[in-house]
Amino acid sequence: MAVRKLNGRYVVEFESLGNRVFRRLPPGSTKAQADAYELRRRREIVDQDVLGKAPVVPLTTAIDEWLLEVVTGRKDERETKNKAVLVRAAIAGLPLTRSGITEAAKHVLKMARKKGAKPLTAATLNRRLAILKGTAKWAWKVQHWTTENLSPYVILIDKKKERVRDRTVSQRVIEKMIRKGRNFEARAFIALGAYGLMRTSEIMRAQPSDIGRGLTLPKTKKGVPRVVPIIPQLRPFLAAIPFKHHKRTLYAWFEEARDAAGVTDLVHHDLRRSGATILLNAGVSLEIVAHVLGDSLEVAKKHYAHVLNRTAEKAMRKGFRPIRAPASKARTGLST
């Protein structure tokens, strides 16, 4: 029996023309979907082994299958699937072939130059290109839909060529933005980013049960829990947790407060960077700031090198005692 249930999930397992197929369908899949998958795989094997032709699979279909089989259940499932929607829209109609995957990569890069839209960073584009790379490798290695691994034909952007974003604001500007917030949730959304050094995703996942001596964030980007110290500037806004509005609504309110405060070219994540910069300028060690951010020292050094350079200069000026300038070159022992 090729289709059966194993631990509550449908499994397709059979051998045809020397090819063994085993696939555990994602949770929630129906028997009809399992039967359809079995039939399609049997036809592909016949096409490839008997008729000598490789199946021509649409790239959008390959992405859908990759999402179901590989991404489902992963920690980044929701985020990856959201990005895949954008990628699918850009590559509709292209086949899973060498020319198709190359053209698809070009289409994804064109998204960065879309008229009227904000320019996309190299990191954002690379995350979208990674969907193509992951799909291509899986389609070759697991599904045998291609005779070669097409993943290398998707070239990621060299992020070293992209300047690290340096857009921060002062505490005075942060306070002005908070005052301009249209309601309590809008003001709290700004405050948690700036005074909690929190990412948008962390703010949206926060629950009242996470509040104690500090605000515990069990699910972070790094996958490691961290604790945000609750300082007086932050405490009044904890009452907004959990946020009742969608993050798109909150982000629109943030942009409204930002514009009302006379600030341009600022994204919500810049509030987190602003908070870290304020702490570093106040003399807080990089190690402590990195700890609060939930970043490694290496990452913190990369993002805040310019701040460290300024604080290092201030420290050196303060550390060395003043000296009287030499009256002339002759008295210094220097020669021309």
The pLDDT tens digits for 196-208 are 999 998 999 999 9
Q: Tell me: do 185 and 310 sit in the same domain.
A: yes
118 vs 292, higher pLDDT: 292
Same domain? 91 vs 217: no
Q: Does 190 share its domain with 243? A: yes
pLDDT-derived band of residue 94, with 50, 70 and 90 as boundaries? very high
Q: Model pTM?
A: 0.55
Q: Per residue in 107-132, is it b (16+ CB within 10 Å) or e — as a string?
A: ebbebbeeeeeeebebeebbbbbbbb
Q: Please identify, among 162, 191, 207, the residue that sits at the C-terminal boundary of a domain.
A: 162
185 and 307 in a single domain? The answer is: yes
Total domains in the fold of the chain? 3
Q: Is 216 helix (H, G, I), strand (E, B) or coil?
A: strand
Q: Which of 162, 180, 205 is the last residue of a domain?
A: 162
Whether 327 maps to a domain, the answer reads: no
pLDDT at 336: 43
What is the separation of C-alpha 41 from the centre of its chain, rounded to a whole number of angstroms? 34
**Is-contact 193 177, C-beta < 8 A?**
no
Residues 265, 145 share a domain: no
Residues 179 and 242 in one domain: yes
Residue 115 has pLDDT above 80, yes or no: no
For residues 43 and 102, membership in a common domain is answered with no
For the segment 65-87, what is each residue's pLDDT rounded down to a tens digit? 899 888 888 878 888 999 999 99
The beta strand positions in the chain, using DSSP E, are 3-6, 9-16, 19-24, 214-217, 226-229
Domain harbouring 264, CATH code: 1.10.443.10
Q: Note down the domain range covering 127.
A: 58-63+71-162
Q: Residues 41, 90: one domain?
A: no
Average pLDDT of the chain, as a whole number: 84
- How much is the pLDDT for 170? 93
